[in-house]
Amino acid sequence: MKEETKLSVSAIENGTVVDHIPAQNLFKVISILGLERIDNLITFGTNMESHRLGKKAIIKVADKFFEREEINRIAVVAPHAKLNVIKGYTVVEKQVVEVPDRIEGIIKCVNPKCITNVELVKTKFEVIDKQNVSLKCHYCEKITDQEHMIYL
Amino acid sequence: MKNKSLVAINDLSKEDIIKILDLAEEFEKNPIQNILNKTVVATLFFEPSTRTRLSFESAVSRLGGRVIGFSEAANTSVSKGESLKDTILTVANYSDLIVMRHSIEGSARYASEVSPVPIINAGDGANQHPTQTLLDLFSIRKTQGTLEGLNIFLVGDLKYGRTVHSLLMAMSRFGASFTFVSPRELRMPSEYKMHLDSMGLKYTEQTDLNENLDKADIIYMTRVQRERFSDPLEYEKVKNVYVLRNKMLENTKPTMRVLHPLPRVNEIHTDVDPNPKAYYFPQALNGVYTRMAIMSLILDLK
């Protein structure tokens, strides 16, 4: 499996490889990490076979190293993602995503009568279930579960 | 509580709650005081609620304060499209405290984050209405002599009823047990039952209002609304089932009291009104004392 991945997306000298992204969420991850707005060399592959995820995607970003906070922002869309920090073509560090206690922005509150859907108010949630990623709105107190998640 | 907003009942500790109730009791004994004589309270009712607004305004007036505000959003800048944030920031210049009611859920929490003066939530959609819960607690303590270990019957729309959910959460801190009486379609949501389970508190569910009433310390009635039913036939079947009548109170405890957040429509028959166990009108008066206590604690005048 690993061989195939390496073949389909070329290796980078320095940077970060984000692996084990559910294929359907690839573009959400790109958007959350703000990769559309940077000039670094980025390669990605998607719809690769994965035992765990069915179809997975992988992103390689040259010369980019993420802060812990940035990494955790993708937790809701790619909770099993793994990051390999590459220096001189070798993996020097492996990082896993941790679902944070609170999430700001990124997700839309499921409640159409919530103030965040009516006025320009940034969404804020308390994560009440880290396993299945279930969020309680800081404002209207309604629960947004994974099934109803819409990304901003 | 000094200078803090009151948005949700869970913002208060058990000690805060008791402090409010004790002070409300003082105001009950001595309701005319001039402690708000230099205070302007704004009542912003983006959604009409005559009872709650008058209760707040009465509380302010009796304590010598002044009220400014509006009772509905029509004819205000809101109808011109002004944002809630702008309304709050503007009105905060004119007042020391803002009492607000809004149909949008979470609006009070948001207002409390942008406002330089404290906000009291007088209802944000189906979400929170903490002063109602506090006046319910005051009424329960006053009629039962305690809040600890009581058996509370919650009757009617238990699925959507904001009032019963908040009351359940608050009373669970005092070791209450509950009996839920509702049609199947409007049963208590599982999250609240799980909360009681986690606290080790007992509850039972029944669809028949006539059963077990002799065990109740409080019967808390709410209205079953037609619009809550997906099937109109279901509503027709239950609409007259959850009506409390005087003869049903015959075997209830002498200390039992019937509460209702009001307005009542037909869920308590008027033949209950003369019964000393009917407590819903005194309950509304308790709302004035409770709101006096909340406002004076937030404004640090007590």
Residue B6 falls inside a structural domain: no
**pLDDT over threshold 90, residue A72:** no
Average pLDDT value for chain B: 94
The pTM score is 0.87
Q: What is the mean pLDDT of residues B238-248?
A: 90
Q: Are B175 and B212 in contact (CB under 8 A)?
A: no
Q: Which residues on A lie below 8 Å from B83 (Cβ)?
A: 119-120
Which domain-ending residue is among B80, B104, B128? B128
CATH number, domain at B56? 3.40.50.1370
Q: How confident is the model at residue B28 (pLDDT cuts 50, 70, 90)?
A: very high
Residue B113 falls inside a structural domain: yes
pLDDT of residue A4: 52
**pLDDT over threshold 70, residue B52:** yes
Q: List B177's β-bridge partners, or say none.
A: B151
Q: Per the CB < 8 Å rule, is B106 touching A119?
A: no
Of A113, A137, A138, the CB nearest to B125: A113
B159 Cβ neighbours under 8 A, 6+ residues apart? B182, B185, B186, B187, B188, B189, B228
**B39 touching A (Cβ < 8 Å):** no
pLDDT of residue A69: 82
> What type of residue sits at position A77?
V
B63-97 per-residue burial string, b: 16 or more CB within 10 A, e: under 16: bebebebbbebeeeebeeeeebbebbeebbeebbb
pLDDT of residue A68: 86
ipTM above 0.85 for this complex? yes
Q: What is the mean pLDDT of residues B291-298?
A: 98
Asked whether residue B91 falls in the same domain as residue B227, the answer is no
Q: Per the CB < 8 Å rule, is B110 touching A111?
A: no
Q: Which residues on B lie below 8 Å from A138 (Cβ)?
A: 106, 109
Asked whether residue B162 falls in the same domain as residue B90, the answer is no
**pLDDT over threshold 70, residue B268:** yes
Asked whether residue B257 falls in the same domain as residue B147, the answer is yes
Structure tokens given for A132: 């299945």
**pLDDT over threshold 60, residue A6:** no
Asked whether residue B156 falls in the same domain as residue B215, the answer is yes
What residue numbers bound the domain in which B236 lies? 131-284
Minimal-distance CA residue of chain B relative to A119: B83
CATH T-level topology, domain A102-151: SH3 type barrels. (2.30.30)
Q: How confident is the model at residue B270 (pLDDT cuts 50, 70, 90)?
A: very high
The alpha-helical segments, DSSP class H, found in chain A are 2-8, 26-32, 68-72
Residue B78 falls inside a structural domain: yes
pLDDT of residue A9: 58
Asked whether residue B156 falls in the same domain as residue B210, the answer is yes
In chain A, residues 100-119 whose CB comes closer than 8 Å to chain B: 111, 113-116, 118-119
Query: What is the rounded distance in angstroms from the CA atom of residue A122 to the CA atom of residue A112?
Result: 14
Which domain-ending residue is among B102, B128, B154? B128
% residues pLDDT > 70 (chain B): 100
Asked whether residue B175 falls in the same domain as residue B269, the answer is yes
What's the total number of domains in chain B? 2
Asked whether residue B188 falls in the same domain as residue B48, the answer is no
pLDDT tens figures, B63-103: 999 999 999 888 777 878 899 999 999 999 999 999 999 99
Which domain-ending residue is among B67, B102, B128? B128
Q: What is the mean pLDDT of residues B3-32?
A: 95
Q: How confident is the model at residue A5 (pLDDT cuts 50, 70, 90)?
A: low
Q: What is the mean pLDDT of residues B150-176?
A: 95
Interface test with B, best of A110, A111, A120, A121 (most B CBs within 10 A): A121
Asked whether residue B156 falls in the same domain as residue B270, the answer is yes
Cα of B104 to nearest chain A Cα, Å: 5
Q: In chain A, where are the structural domains located?
A: 2-96, 102-151
**Cβ neighbour number for residue B295 with a 10 Å cutoff:** 27
- Rounded to a whole number of angstroms, the CA Rg of chain A reads 16
Q: Which residues on A lie below 8 Å from B125 (Cβ)?
A: 113, 140
Q: How far is CA A8 from the centre of its chain?
A: 21
Domain boundaries A2-96, corresponding CATH code: 3.30.70.140
Least confident of A44-53, B14-23, B157-166, B233-242: B233-242
pLDDT of residue B235: 84
